[in-house]
Amino acid sequence: MISPKDRKKQLRQEALARRDALDPHWRIETSLAMADAARNIDVEPGAVVSGFWPMRSEVDVRPLIFALRENGARLCLPAILDNTTIVFRELVRGAGLVDMGFGTAGPGEEAEVLDPTLMLVPLAAFDGRGHRIGYGAGYYDRAIARLEAKGAPPRLIGIAFDCQEVERVPDEPHDVIIPEILTESGLRRFA
């Protein structure tokens, strides 16, 4: 019998292979179209929204987060501090970005660290219950747990393409369930 960890690894590889096979031009157009969902995502003026700089074949959420900024949100991006921790640094116009590793970029050390009230979470795979598979390092799981421990649980919206959906993600006690997932089909909410 395969362990949940090994099954997740297998599902991750399969979902990412499907995502990688998507036409790059289609991914760009779809990412732009997904920014239209910003009008369906309520944010209070001044709310802190964490996005992510896209890597490899991920959904490019930059148009989406910039649309949310136009609605009054403050933006931040994850910054890797060490092998276990990410913080969210404010993304402001005109500020330079630095290499964060993994092919992604983020604000430098001079940027203010913020606690997001809305977190856009990159997904490798997900199921119809809102269970997710990340990239395997646990950065987001720990960051979400840290915010919850501070009494500031963020609203979580997973970001993926429809082709990344799998039949069922194996349940593990440490898993964070994502109550909303945005794909090119729209924003889905789970019980």
Residue 88, domain CATH: 3.40.50.10420
- CA gap 45, 164 in Å, rounded: 32
Does 106 carry a binding-site annotation? Answer: no
Whether residue 181 is contained in a domain is answered as no
Q: What is the domain range of residue 155?
A: 4-112+136-168
Residue type, 45: P
Q: Is 133 annotated as a binding residue?
A: yes
48-50/74-80 β-pairing: parallel
10 belongs to an annotated ligand binding site: yes
User: Does residue 162 belong to any structural domain of this protein?
Assistant: yes
Q: State how many domains the chain has.
A: 1
What pLDDT sits at residue 36?
84
Residue 189 covered by a domain: no
According to the model, what pLDDT value does residue 93 have? 85
Quick check: is 180 in a domain? no
Q: Is 79 among the domain residues?
A: yes
Residues of the chain with pLDDT under 70: none
pTM of the predicted structure, to 2 decimals:
0.93
Q: Is 21 a domain residue?
A: yes
What pLDDT was estimated at residue 35? 87
The answer to whether 58 is a known ligand-binding residue is: yes
User: pLDDT value at position 19?
Assistant: 98
The reply, when asked if residue 134 is annotated as ligand binding, is yes
- The answer as to whether 130 is a domain residue is no
